[in-house]
Amino acid sequence: MKKCTKCGELKSLDDFTPYKKSKDGKSTVCKKCRNIYAATQRDKHRDNVNKRYRERYANDSEFKEKRSINNKKSLMKSKKNNPEYWIWQSAKSRAKKEGFEFNIELSDIIIPKICPILKKPLVFTAGQGMRNDYTPSLDKINPKKGYIKGNVCIISMKANVMKNNATREELENFAANIINYLKNEDLVQTIENEESIELKDKEPLG
């Protein structure tokens, strides 16, 4: 048995770390006290590092700009490598903000290679403002329900925007009538450089 010089408790020699220079080959401080001291020192060092970082970030504009760029690169890399997590996290934030029910798990986020609605390859582009028509997007199948199991699916951003908050009946009517709508003789289409279509002089269909 040995008494710890830190806490003053009498403990078994197994509660002390080896120390060759002592007579009994054991440290004078028990493992528990040593671990508490080490944790305190780590916290103190971390606080000092964080304080120096915050001061430099606030006063050094060049350092701030570099850190901002590096942070954005790291975030973009993470979003590219872990799109399922970021889609899940984004949906969780929206649900909290908008008051939707949320019970889906990360395993519920399954990104297909092809948009199930538009039958186009999905392309994940990370970074703010880098979304395109075929970026994977989490859709609430029934928009009135929340992000709950059985009510979510990954489709393209374009398909999600087209679907928006339409009801099933509205979507069925859209699918049934869109072809005839585009064949309307009063619909004038101007195609420029095979990239954009301008619609003019059309009356809403009754």
For 77-110, write each residue's pLDDT tens digit: 888 888 899 999 999 999 999 999 999 999 999 9
Min mean pLDDT across 24-33, 37-46, 121-130, 165-174 is at: 121-130
Phi, psi angle pair for 112, to nearest 5°: -80, 165
Supply the Cα-derived Rg of the chain in whole angstroms.
30
Q: Residue 158 burial by CB count (10 A; 0-12/13-18/19+): exposed, middle or buried?
A: middle
**pLDDT of 199 above 80:** no
Residue 127: per-residue pLDDT = 55
Cβ neighbours, 10 Å, residue 91: 20
Q: Outline where DSSP puts E strands in 10-162.
A: 10-11, 16-18, 26-30, 136-140, 152-156
CA dist 72 and 52 (Å) reads: 21
Comparing 104 with 127, the larger pLDDT belongs to 104
Q: Which two tokens stand for residue 166?
A: 């339409």
Q: For a pLDDT cut of 90, what percent of the chain falls above it?
A: 50
The verdict on pTM exceeding 0.75 is: no
Spatial contact of 109 and 88, defined as CB atoms under 8 Å apart: yes
**pLDDT of 27 above 90:** yes
Q: For a pLDDT cut of 70, what percent of the chain falls above it?
A: 85
Q: What angle do CA 115, 158, 171 make, to 5 degrees?
A: 85
For the chain, the average pLDDT equals 84
Residue 186: per-residue pLDDT = 55
Spatial contact of 104 and 148, defined as CB atoms under 8 Å apart: yes
CA dist 106 and 9 (Å) reads: 48
Comparing 172 with 47, the larger pLDDT belongs to 47
